Amino acid sequence: MAELTHYIGGTRVAGTSGRFADVFNPATGEVQAKVPLATQAELDAAVDRAAAAQPAWAATNPQKRARVMMEMVRLINRDMDKLAEALSREHGKTIPDAKGDVQRGLEVIEFCIGTPHLLKGEYTDNAGPGIDMFSMRQSLGVVAGITPFNFPAMIPLWKMGPALSCGNAFILKPSERDPSVCLMLAELFTEAGLPDDILQVVNGDKESVDAILDNETIQAIGFVGSTPIAAYIYERGCANGKRVQCFGGAKNHMIVMPDADMDQAADALIGAGYGAAGERCMAISVAVPVGDETADRLVEKLVPRIEKLKVGPYTAGDDVDYGPLVTGAAKERALGLVNSGLEQGAELVVDGRDFSLQGYEDGFFVGPHLFDRVTKDMDIYKQEIFAPVLCTVRAQSYEEAIGLAMDHEYGNGTAIFTRDGDTARDFAHRINIGMVGVNVPIPVPLAYHTFGGWKKSGFGDLNQHGPDAFKFYTRTKTVTARWPSGLKEGGEFAFKAMD
């Protein structure tokens, strides 16, 4: 059985704690590797090394730091197949999904090539008599990222790229469920020219997380995961004087208006609701057709599409629509919520509870589910299921439909399908949700915009990637300068009053 490592000082380093977590093959249910869980002492030692190396990296001019990102783009493209295979082997998602995971992270690295422009300050000539004022953006020092299992390449790259480009040293604590791709990415950064100790990958569990939160050297923390943990990290990190951004859970609604193209809406829901087995914070898990006739037409379109979905291991190639969930615990939780939906009165139109795959009976596969006539008091509506389960909530009007999304505690993403521009414009302007799609089911912004949810989906003032990331990982210093033009007798400068 493979024993994974940390990545410290530009090389793989064995753990010393004696504690390990299991890394499963989600398709078979077997343990395929052990990952070390760092102690506070191990984490602190990695931080100390990063702090010692960081000033020289910050002093490296932004163009040279950008060249590391340029080389990283080449290396990721070179190793795309290897990265995707490693990701699929531990997470379970299909190879096309895994490549998409890597690709969306790669796009942020491409954006970071513009670091010299993004770090430019402002300048005012002659702010006062002989006085100039200018600002500069400077690195924070050592910063950290705590990233989730569902996008083990994309989200670490979203954090690492901007943080490193800004001149910081970075401590990454990836998910212990699928850590291998992060170790591979760290090796690629070293190959791309990143100095040793500027990027450290420290595997761990809550002990490592708390060590990050309490370490006085770490200046900022980025997190993606569940809302309860996001709230915990945000509160404890802020209490310790750190800059913190945390992104939590989601319950994304897609409103389907009576004038929508029903085939287009149904196809969109298949991809957005069941792709990657529903393990996406931007997955559509609630369809809200407006009017019973619209709902009946939509469900009629969905059922045959859902029944044709092919579920299997990533090794089956392109013949698979989605793979298993990441762990047995995730499978048990999802099926528990499905059962609660039945108990609370929802209509289970497509039942995937008895799904079993020959030869993979012990894998963490969950068949596709479709609920109809879900109400907002049900657990399957209130909670993020993170599985291939789509809930249909019937609304009798546009106002009722938009109210469902606006009243929900989560505010990550939402979408509307309609042919009416006025309705779409009203929806986009009124909705209290961070990312909005108009006839686009998963409105994830591109790398040069910014990603972030509202309400209990996001904690902190700044979002991920785009210009916000460069603001988050730097602080502004403003300089007021005056150079006297004359001398008094005795050699003293003749200073002039600013006004």
Catalytic residues, by residue number, are 281
Task: Give 263's contacts (C-beta < 8 A, 6+ positions apart).
Answer: 301
What 8-state DSSP symbol labels residue 378?
S
Q: Give the pair of three-digit tokens for residue 437.
A: 């799609």
Give the side-chain half-sphere CA count within 13 A for 492.
5
Query: Using CA of residue 241, residue 247, residue 249, residue 255, what is the dihedral sign?
Result: positive
Please, is 193 exposed, middle or buried when counting C-beta atoms within 10 Å of its C-beta (0-12, 13-18, 19+)? middle
Identify each DSSP E strand in 227-353 by its residue range: 243-247, 252-256, 284-289, 347-350
CA angle 196, 199, 200 (to 5 degrees): 100
Helical packing angle, 227-239 and 206-214, nearest 10° = 30
Q: Give the pair of three-digit tokens for residue 165.
A: 């480009």
Q: Which helix (H) or strand (E) holds 350?
A: strand 347-350
Helical packing angle, 154-165 and 180-192, nearest 10° = 30
Q: First CA to last CA across the chain, in angstroms?
A: 74
Rounded CA separation 46/184 (Å): 18
For 79, list phi and psi in degrees, rounded to 5: -105, 20
| Residue 422 CB neighbour total at 10 angstroms | 8
